[in-house]
Every structure is written in C-alpha cells, then in structure tokens.
Structure 1
C-alpha cells in the first residue's frame, strides 16, 4: 500500500471512483448476460479457488480497513455504502475537504457470468480490455467503455471471485496525477488489499 502512495501522490491520493455513468460514484459498465452454464467462456481464466464474498456483500465498506482508507485518502475520509445499488452492493470513499477524491468498490451482481461477461465484449463494448496479473491468485482484467487512462486517469479492475461472480475496484486520478502514473496499477493494488481483507475474514 505504501508503494501506491509513491506511485500516485506525495501526500493524498486524489482519486475518483471509476464511473461510466456519473463521476464520483462507482458504477459498473453495462454488460450482456451470457448463459451462466457456459462459464467460464472461451479464453476466460477459471477461478480454481473461489472466494466467499457473502459477508462483504452485506458490509461492502469493510472491504478496506480504516487505516487503509486513511493511507489512500487521508484522515477524515468518509464512506458511502449502498447495498441496493444497481450494480450490486457498493462502497465509495471520499476524503475530507473539497477534493473530488474517491475510491469505489462494487460486489457486482449485474449477471452471474463473472469475468466471462467482460471477455465476451472485449474490443466492442469494452475498448479498454487488458488482462492483468492475478490479484492474490484470482484472475483479473482492466476494462472500460473506452481507454481513459491517460486522458482522465480512470481505470477499473474486475477480479473474478468465482466463475460466476466478480468484484470491481475503480479509481480516477486527479488532474495533477493524470499521465504521471498508470491508474490501472493503482486500482490493482487497491484490489489486492480488498481481496486480502476478504480472505483474512474467512
């Protein structure tokens, strides 16, 4: 996590949750609904050791500890939890003050196809499609309706927690940080912390 600070900012990480719908609020990109008996689809990595996220679907803001949030966004950061958000149970964190910084996490319930829903739309719906290193042993991919890494500093990482489920971890860098570091690296590191916390609670 300390490396994340160095990558994005010497002080606060000025982040906003990735949102293809509304800036500042984590929102999953719309996906189609592949047949759930056909997952994982062709080329989609299988989740050999599924992660039980049941508890965190009820308390998504516990996916990051208070200390981790402070490290990311500074003291006084607040959390907004939405258990009935359209994409699934969601938590968005915002720092104190007037910045637009947030980090967003969604326990995605758009469909029951997991990463297959994203893989099937690579190059069409999702112009940004980039498999990334596993997150604590779980397959992951960076994706978006368009590639906004260098223009807006936005990136979302989807982590397959089972063949049928995934978690979205999304960030957007501040204007001061856009182009200075890869937002997908930051999102990946936050995703690692989230998965570690979920595993640690089991």
Structure 2
C-alpha cells in the first residue's frame, strides 16, 4: 500500500510549533470511522463509513510541479523559518516536495501525490487496525476529509505524523510532518500536519 511506503520512507522531519490548531492540534475524530472488511468494501468507493468528497479537485496540474502545493510564505509559517523546497518527481509512490530550513534536517513537511488514483480515503480506512496502528479521523477541512495514519504511532517518540487529505473519492494528498527535537511533546504533530493540509488545500483550490 502506498501510504505504508510513505510512512516508512518519509524523511524524518520535525515541525516547530504551528499557529492555528485547526489542522493537527489535539485532533478530535470527526466520525467513528469504522474500518470496512475487504469483502464488504470490494469495489465500493467510498467504502462503508468512509466520508464522501462532494467537490473533487483535479490534481493533474500539481503532479509535475509538486512544490507548487505550498507557497514560500506558507512553508515559512509552518516551519518557523525560511524553508527550501526539494522536489522529487521519480519517487516510487509518486511526485513529492519536501520543505526544510536551509542546512537542516528538521523540521520538515513532505507533500506527496500519488502516481494514479489509489481508491482515496477508502484505502486508508481499510487499513485501520491492520497496516495502520495509528488511525485517527480529524476534523474535515471545508468538507474535505483528513485522517492521521501510521504503521506506528510516532507522535511522542519522534514528533511525527502523516495525514491523508481526501481530494476526491479516488485520490488523496499525503502530508508527512516531523517536529524539531525541541518541540516534540509540546504540540500534537498531527495537529501541525493538519495545519499543513489546510494550506495545501487553500493553494490547490485557489489554482483550480
């Protein structure tokens, strides 16, 4: 599964304290998000219990230029310092862009697009309790579902959180965030990742 690879391969990054707690503050599940069994969910998009995306966003224009997902100002707001963008178009999971302060390994924000439709949020919900030990639906952003996930729960140990932002019933944008060592334990990294997702969504919707 794509997101399993993302969680294992994402560069360790740490986010300094972000401003609004709308994205990844202490997240409160938006719904029960029960995981459908593979048999009941087969062929059904969205699957049982998976929130539907009523206003899908076309991501085609961003995949060749993933670093356009955040502006310089947005990246600086998230990282608390001037950030450099590192684009990667040949990743095994799809194109991505990593933001980090110059000459630093953390904090970072990594935004990843899939190469092709991957069943969207349905694939995240189906992995609850099996592939993903961390599974926590967060408050939607303007009607677009957001879910924190991970093969391990590394929020306390590494200040790390990955979230999937549903942009259609068949696609998501994955955002992997890691805090700086100084900020681990001071703010929920999933709240910070949701803050990043808010900015990504703002940029992408503004360009459509």
- TM-score bin, normalised by smaller chain: 0.7 to 0.9
Q: Larger RCO: Structure 1 or Structure 2 (Cα < 8 Å, ≥ 6 residues apart)?
A: 2
Using the alignment, how far apart are the partners of 2:171 and 2:104 within structure 1? Answer: 35
- RMSD between aligned alpha carbons? 2.2
- 1:70 and 2:58 correspond: no
Using the alignment, how far apart are the partners of 2:133 and 2:8 within structure 1? Answer: 13
Alignment partner, residue 166 of structure 1:
172
Using the alignment, how far apart are the partners of 2:138 and 2:75 within structure 1? Answer: 24
**Equivalent residue runs for 1:37-186 within 5 Å:** 37-73=43-79, 74-75=81-82, 77-109=83-115, 112-186=118-192
Q: Secondary structure at the match of 2:165?
A: strand
5+ long unaligned stretches in structure 1:
1-17, 26-32
Is the CA contact 1:136–1:195 (under 8 Å) kept in the aligned structure 2? no
5+ long unaligned stretches in structure 2:
1-5, 14-37
* 1:33-82, Cα deviation, whole Å (9 max, x unpaired): 9988421111111111101111111111011001112233322x221111
C-alpha deviation, 1:164, in angstroms: 0.6
With the length of structure 2 as denominator, give the TM-score of the two structures. Answer: 0.78
With the length of structure 1 as denominator, give the TM-score of the two structures. Answer: 0.80
- 1:23 and 2:29 correspond: no
* 1:5-42, Cα deviation, whole Å (9 max, x unpaired): xxxxxxxxxxxxx74225348xxxxxxx9988421111
Using the alignment, how far apart are the partners of 1:111 and 1:54 within structure 2? Answer: 11
